[in-house]
Structure 1
């Protein structure tokens, strides 16, 4: 029985238009066309692929694209096309087949992708529609990261201004984005205003915000410390700058809390979305990963958001490559060099770093592996990457069995 007929298309996407190149299963050009980036344009693209190819169903048309997400990919998957993604660096190497001069244009790139998918399908990754909860979780996880960076940026600006004219407050709180400090600057933006505060008022302020690390006397002592001698107008200018930062920092703090709440709710929804069959005790992936030592809510959200597909396949080699913990070997003749992998998902790599760091503190086997690697002369980062590599292997094994992590069983095996 012969294989069903297939057609191959390459999509070179752009911000305003997308170039599509279509060939048959023998590499003959069937057509090429540009489509506007709009709802009507993407619908026209899908209709053109079916009409020009003459395929009976969309699944017979294999589409290659560099970007594995976005409206183009989602439209084509929704219409039933077999969409495949390729790494841009691999795409660059395939381009050399058609031109050694380094020439590049949209039409040629679309042709290169269509031809490469026909001849080298193993280099492509088939895409599928994502779980709606995972799609939302991925976005909120990235939002939380962006908000965290924004909070650090604003807190550093606030610290710089306080260092200018009100350094005594920096001795009370290391985190310049702390809610209580922002509220205190609202009622005492300058040393002169802080010196006029009464102890009863400060005590009430601390009680309302449930601050027990220090009392009103400590606050007043710092607030009434002799300020640095400054040129006229400096306090007014710096306090005005602080006043412009405070509302933005408060807003970011509220948004971070909302993002954390939403991420927690989505993880709970994801864990509840897959029910076990009657008579089985198989746990959901989110619950299994959360049971591992060192996995908190932020690490769990990043794992589920950035590595959902390889986690579903229990694909340990793909996971370790995506996270950057798999080393790269360069061997030629008698030379053999092993270097750190640079092509990785940076958010996932950062999550695994913190997972390994916390696991070393709480898991005896992770701590022993880290200590042995350090004894052998490996750096802190190199040792943590090895611990993260082991953690991924353990996670994949647990996902295959569907069992939660059991510290007692782990300790028994270690003994």
Structure 2
């Protein structure tokens, strides 16, 4: 049963949040009258409003608002007499359209609709229950680190595009461009002319200092540098592009340093959490994806009653729509995008690191599925496995799972099934 039905509240509040102010609608328990108001997004104003509410109604007070995290949520979580109930923005928007098909919208009206949803559909909403400080820290760290990785990719793409304008050879000499090596090279030799003027010994020392030990590869790079022909000699192109490349290199270097710092913080926090042991040795997880998987599951095991709920919440489970004689399946549009990204990115890593995962992926591709569809289908299966491991606090064991597949006669094992039954680990 929903806590909204179990717990008696002294008052009900709907909030429509904004950047500079928040519209509110309040209704006392046992009363039908509603009061509307507005508070500024200032610490003092929020504190005064919350304390006034407490002096007037006592507690607990139910508060409905259309987000689960953000400045206003952080501000209201300080008050133990307020119980926050997140409302999906899409739910509130559809509820508004049901009564205002014209599309009319205003902030005070949305605050009243949030209050309506709490009062008339209490079984649909659960209270916001924050996880422990270390877990919430980890969740924030991995999300922000992934944003920095996105910045790294964008800067690298822009850098490559700029080099193609006047200095394309640099892209041929380095396969991995989002590295300190690439940044140092371009910062020292931002034009073809500058690198061609460098002595061979200087170039060799540079590559050795950056842990490039392959003599043949270094020799091939230097030979390519000596024989390279300029794309253009026009100073009007080279000058501005050179400055732009140096600016992008400085930004990329700062992002790379920040990612390293985030990795250190994530490792320090993740190892303090007892459930980390369930994820750190998963196939393909590693130091980057293991903390993200831990953050995806969290520590509140009652949050998801089944693997099916997690699959739907993460956006991995497909959606089926039926109308008349038509039926079609598509992927879930409304979901936490970072959570779905975590499962999909990790599932892709397991293709070459887990025997059954690779076999399942190839099976899906043979059926005509695209790479992305096949990876999402693999993520769907992995969630069911990890959910059971998470609930029982049992680390995943590939051999145990392969034996279970062999007992069921799974076609994924093929001719390897007999060896698995005998306890062989050769398929792993």
Q: Give TM-score, length-normalised by structure 2.
A: 0.85
CA contact (8 A) 2:317 2:380 kept: yes
Kindly report the root-mean-square deviation, in angstroms, between the aligned alpha carbons of the 2 structures. 2.5
Deviates more, 1:251-260 or 1:24-33: 24-33
Alignment partner, residue 322 of structure 1: 313
CA contact (8 A) 1:19 1:110 kept: yes
Structure 1 SS opposite 2:329 = strand
CA gap 1:7/1:98 in 2 versus in 1, 3 angstroms? farther
Q: Which residue of 2 aligns with 1:278?
A: none
Distance 1:187 1:355, change over 3 A: closer
Cα distance, 1:140 vs. partner? 2.2
Does the CA-based 8 Å contact 1:267-1:301 persist in structure 2?
Answer: yes
8 Å contact from structure 1 (residues 310, 319) kept in 2? no
Match of 1:402 among 393, 396, 404: 393
CA-to-aligned-CA distance 1:314-365 (integer Å, 9 cap, x gap) = 4423321222111112123433222211112211212211221122222222
Contact 1:294 1:362 in 2 (8 A): yes
Q: Give the TM-score, by structure 1 length.
A: 0.87
Which one of the candidate residues 350, 354, 359 is aligned to 1:368?
Answer: 359
Please give the secondary structure, in 2, of the residue aligned with 1:362. coil
Contact 1:74 1:129 in 2 (8 A): no
Aligned to 2:177: 176
Pick from 383, 394, 397 the counterpart of residue 392 of structure 1. Answer: 383
| 390-399 or 353-362: bigger deviation | 353-362
Quick check: 1:41 aligned with 2:38?
no
Cα drift, residue 64 of structure 1: 0.4
Deviations 1:268-324 (A, max 9, x none): 12x2xxxxxxxxxxxx32221333333233333333445537656344233212221
| Residue 224 of structure 2: aligned partner | 222
Residue aligning to 1:67? 67
Contact map agreement 2:155 2:252 (CA 8 A) in 1:
yes
- Matched positions, count: 397
C-alpha deviation, 1:397, in angstroms: 0.7
1:186 aligned partner:
187
Offset at 1:176? 2.7
Task: Specify whether residues 18 and 236 from structure 1 end up closer, same or farther in structure 2 by C-alpha distance, changes over 3 A only.
Answer: closer
Q: Which residue of 2 aligns with 1:89?
A: 90
**Per-residue displacement from partner, 1:79-98 (whole Å, max 9, x unpaired)?**
12111011111112222465
Verify the 8 A CA contact 1:155 1:175 in the aligned structure 2.
no
Q: Which runs of 5+ in 2 are unaligned?
A: 1-5, 407-428
Unaligned residue ranges in structure 1 (runs of 5+) = 272-283
SS of residue matched to 1:330? strand
Structure 1 counterpart of 2:212:
211
Query: Within 2, Cα distance between the matches of 1:106 and 1:139?
Result: 29
